[in-house]
Chains A and B, each alone.
Chain A
Amino acid sequence: MDETLLRSLTPSVLGILVRRGIDFAAAEDAVQDALVEAVRVWPADPPRDPKGWLTTVAWRRFLDAARADAARRRREDLVDEEPAPGPAPTVDDTLQLYFLCAHPSLTPSSAVALTLRAVGGLTTRQIAHAYLVPEATMAQRISRAKRTVSGLRFDRPGDVATVLRVLYLVFNEGYSGDVDLAAEAIRLTRQLAAAIDHPEVAGLLALMLLHHARRAARTAPDGSLVPLAEQDRSRWDTRSIAEGVEILQAALARDQLGEFQAQAAIAALHADAPTAAETDWVQIVEWYDELARLTANPVVRLNRAVAVGEADGPRAGLTALAAVDDALPRYTAVAAYLHERDGDPATAARLYAEAAQQAPNLAERDHLTRQAARLNALRRR
């Protein structure tokens, strides 16, 4: 059974239920129950009309739940009548669900969890596994998030930017356990791009595709990080790159630049270089300048210093770095790299070891420790 296909039906089925007048939280529970039932029943008995099947089962589940709850008389009255067939499911329902699940009243972690469940159709258990928290904790997070948004109108347009931030967060978590969050983020962004015509949605989708294309090359068989310059580019996924570049070019042609398009443009320039040495660093610096105009994020200036170091030499890179806040994560790692390029292995080794102490994750810490060890071993010779 194609579970991705099944899950892709989630938002439209949920949209149908909400339009029939069920409140969002109850509708979402009913759809989740129907998905679980589908996983159980479909392999042996696949339905001819999957969406119709899910809608019917979700509706029945809702009726059962509502009837079982004697306190909810009002809802019982509502459901005693046969439902109107409901308006044809539209793209609009899907879009409204994205807005609701990324509503500004939700914390980022709640918005992420709710989006993965209500739009993505993942189970609470799968989401809990992916974020390495107990299932009961994730269940609470999701039900609190549902309570927060349940009073909101379903027909108000939301802010695309908040949705994009949520999807970006999901993508950046990478993957752990049995759910590939990066692939799921791409699927959800693709679905969003089909529901709304917006250059930054396209920009984010392009950015994800271009980074996802490098995934196989990014880690060695032993799990250690392989930096961009040392990656085996023959292992990059050329189809994913071609798709990302095409989407990006169409977005850029509309002349409404945003930060995701600019980030995707940088990723595209890396993807375009047959070897690390052939990278067009001058253009990359220009895109970082563009990005710095679009966002106040100080990390842009840090990354720009690396690009300047490649375009104009390590001295220029160190000069650019001097203007960056040295408390930024990875500042010391960048300084180490530029000093090594500048022919100062002693300073570089010391800074790499220092950067390892500050590393935000194990893979980076191990990588930076190795860099320090490599330079120290060379110096001992």
Chain B
Amino acid sequence: MGVELFYPEFEVVRNYDRCIACRVCERQCANEVHSLLESKGIMISDESKCVNCQRCVALCPTRALKIVKSNCTLRENANWQNDTIREIYKQAQSGGILLSSMGNPKPLPVYWDKILINASQVTNPPIDPLREPMETRVFLGKKPERVQRDETGALKCELPPQLELTMPIMFSAMSYGSLSYNAHASLARAAEKLGILYNTGEGGLHEDFLRYGKNTIVQVASGRFGVHEGYLRSGAAIEIKMGQGAKPGIGGHLPGTKIVGDVSRTRMIPEGTDAISPAPHHDIYSIEDLRQLVFSLKEATEYQKPVIVKVAAVHNIAAIASGIARSGADIIAIDGFRGGTGAAPTRIRDNVGIPIELALAAVDQRLRDEGIRNSISLVVGGSIRNASDVVKAIALGADAVYIATAGLIALGCHLCRTCQTGRCNWGIATQRPDLVRRLNPDIGCERLVNLLTAWQHEIMEMMGGMGINSIEALRGNRLMLRGIGLTGKELEILGIAHAGE
């Protein structure tokens, strides 16, 4: 090893007055930061291995530990910041593409935080959700344009297939492979309890989870891993993944080390082989091609299941969405540039794509302008962080939202952003049996149910405040939103007025 060019990013601060040398930090750190110095009976640490996942901090029974960002920095430079230099050192050493996990951490604008929600005062009464009925149920799928009658004048009541959700929130695609078995079990069980849906991602569906089919969206992505007729039939809906917010325009790569046992069987590929999802679907180069796949999938499932097309939010998203709406898809899912990932090239994650707020507003407006908004439902994801983000997304025009990072945080994720190493100390993004065991699905499911139950209460409170008692009446209701500190152009794209107007 040559000279270590930079000082570790984090420091492990141990309060020796409190440390009882119980070694729980040592046993729980998959990165092997902590160890016992037997000769002196004290715990020591190698902070160069620390990823700041806070597992040791959380489990230390005497609160003897904390992890802090090192203040050993290079000379301040607004242009050549520490992280920039650190990345150059890394690449100079490795010659490789930089990899990162989870969502874009850069200080780019978060439009949710620049949008404010209305409330009723005096002239229109607010509604108390604890005393009066409040509806958060939504149905996703094509809606008929007009009332239709048969020859006898009777109403035609058949609708295209619909997904029913108790609240406008679903867990977005995270594959078995990128996530552990127990993380998937937690999501599946929580989706069933909550009356919402979770998404298999591109990893196929583990046979143990077939019984959650009513609450499962099965994904078909460019690698087509784990896709067979039974798989398509086992879910409530089928999602074609064209792109992902964290890495628009590129495919996926699950390293062979994670393709073990059940993961290999579920993906239907040999153990130890890399699972490489190509950047494009090799059979889709146009909306017409997409239409073929949409209808192949509908044909395979006897037109019983809605088909979702998921794309990343990119520059001409409105035109793309319009094409998707005409491809026969029932639902379009758009993933913004802050969406999470188990691994993505850092440069792509941090620089490609556009914010979901702008994409959503542009797509909703375009579909309305073209008179096709009712022919497709709109689901958005890419960093929906709390109930007010959900309310704002619905008011901007979404039918429902996808959440993933928020769900993982509920499961224990501390956003250390090193999923790609496969050594997740919280048992979420790993396949190592001793680490997977750390996530007890009983606890995981309970925490996910708690989180979304809380969000549902908050959504109802905010709706009540606006004097709205049904989520349907909030959808696309941009009059309920005002911008703060936004430019005229941003307000124009979002289709909202500035606060005070």
- Say whether A and B bind each other: no
Residues in B lying within 8 Å of A, measured CB to CB: none
Residues in A lying within 8 Å of B, measured CB to CB: none
